[in-house]
Chain A
């Protein structure tokens, strides 16, 4: 099955069994092991990547379903010598321990901030009127929106610290 993907801005051609998930395509076929396999069933979020601007569990979608789609993986957010501010915040706040869920957390957080900025409510939102001030995004909002990413080392409160810092800065920058 021939599939064309735009991964981290580059055209990539894949010719693989249609059973290959987007996650396995990235890890086993395209040399991008940043997205992790934690459960393979959409129950942990370690495989989170951003497809056409939206965070998804790459383990629960077939690569062949994404012909022509733009995929951003952790490698596209920033490499070790050129980290994105969100990645730097994770380092600074120790928003990880073993590091295995981390790429998924960061991809998820990146897209989550866009969702919030677009006014998407969450289950813990008091008001559902489509207006969210990122500079006021509460810890509870961040936690609920990040609950699809499990961290068994349980760096959660540090992860919230890292994301809050970026969320609050982001609004400041765009204001």
Chain B
């Protein structure tokens, strides 16, 4: 870990000024310090924003919720309103990490979580995300954890988190404060970037910008679920995860908000699925078509080929379960 200047911010204004001055924000620190110890992140100035507030969950005028950026994952997942109206989000958060980490990790920080790609994590390895221009070590190497959607020739790493996947399904909005004090709103589905030829940029935050909140829209009905396939029963990153909010009305699918984790280079929401499913009668054939659509452009790199059939199985099973079909894909 390189030496850095540490500054404690007491207000959002302090934080904005620190951001304008080029400081990196540290909140929970569970990812940033991890990376700093390995000299993967080397900030010269660190602005501690743990005491600037932004740590409450409030109702919005639109009937949704505003989750402050510094609300800890634990608090978010234990909030009665979240549990009642957005269980997909609580489940996703609880599927991630451990009790200890969730007690530190924050809403804003979690959105900015960096990849778990082992080539990113090893400074002796080529990695375009860590060091642009050095190449991608994962392509021809061990790539079990890598993405099958949204990859580029420069990077095939996933966004590894869980919370954001549920936020994609819920079509949440990220509230961002610029270093000059202006505020902008960005749909979370546009927050993370595809790697393209700039894999070093994980998301759309500009330098000095601070996430101040995540806004959840008015609650919607339907069956909420978060399914996470992983190598061990707990405390493991997803191989593939699926956040779902599915509603059936009058025998037809009325809502199918779906997002996948660890499948793409960012949390993966494919609007074609909704178009294909909504208004249709649930059937196995329909779900298979949805899987075909989702995975039409999927490309494996050897070690991660299995994610394609895994995602397919999870999507079909989740839709069947949420719409009341049995295992054979018939109405139960």
Contacts and interface: CB of A to CB of B under 8 A. Distances in A.
Interface of A: 1, 17-19, 21, 40-42, 45, 48, 54-57, 60-62, 64-65, 67, 108, 111-112, 115, 118-123, 128-130, 143-145, 147-150
Interface string B1-44: 10111101000000000000000001011100110010000000
B83 A128 contact: yes
A51 to B, nearest CB: 8
B104 A112 contact: no
Contacts of B37: 40-41
Interface in B76-109: 77-78, 80, 83, 87, 90-91, 94-95, 97-101, 103-104
A130 B83 contact: yes
A60 B234 contact: no
B306 interface: no
A67 B94 CA distance: 29
Given A65-B50, A144-B234, A115 B99 contact: yes
A121 B233 CA distance: 17
B48 interface: yes
Best-buried of B4, B26, B94 by chain A (most CB within 10 Å): B94
Contacts of A55: 99-100, 103
A57 B74 CA distance: 14
Contacts, number: 104
Contact of A108 (B28, B87, B97, B99): B99
Contacts of B50: 65
Given A21-B33, A40-B37, A123-B94, A56 B78 contact: no
Contacts of B95: 123
Contacts of B104: 56-57, 60-61
B83 A121 contact: yes
B45 to A, nearest CB: 11
Contacts of B78: 118-121, 130
Interface of B: 1, 3-6, 8, 26, 28-30, 33-34, 37, 46, 48, 50, 74, 77-78, 80, 83, 87, 90-91, 94-95, 97-101, 103-104, 233-235
A19 to B, nearest CB: 5
Contacts of A56: 100, 103-104
Given A122-B94, A128-B90, A67 B8 contact: yes
B107 to A, nearest CB: 16
A62 B6 contact: yes
13 contacts: A21-B33, A42-B97, A42-B100, A45-B100, A55-B99, A60-B29, A60-B30, A60-B34, A62-B26, A67-B8, A128-B91, A143-B234, A147-B98
A147 B234 contact: yes
Nearest to A58: B100
A108 B100 contact: yes
Nearest to B79: A130
Contacts of B34: 41-42, 60
A1 B6 contact: yes
B47 to A, nearest CB: 11
A129 to B, nearest CB: 7
Given A54-B74, A129-B83, A65 B99 contact: no
Nearest to A65: B48
A148 B94 contact: no
Contacts of A42: 30, 34, 97-98, 100-101
Contacts of B30: 42, 57, 60-61
Contact of A128 (B87, B99, B103): B87
Contacts of B90: 121, 128
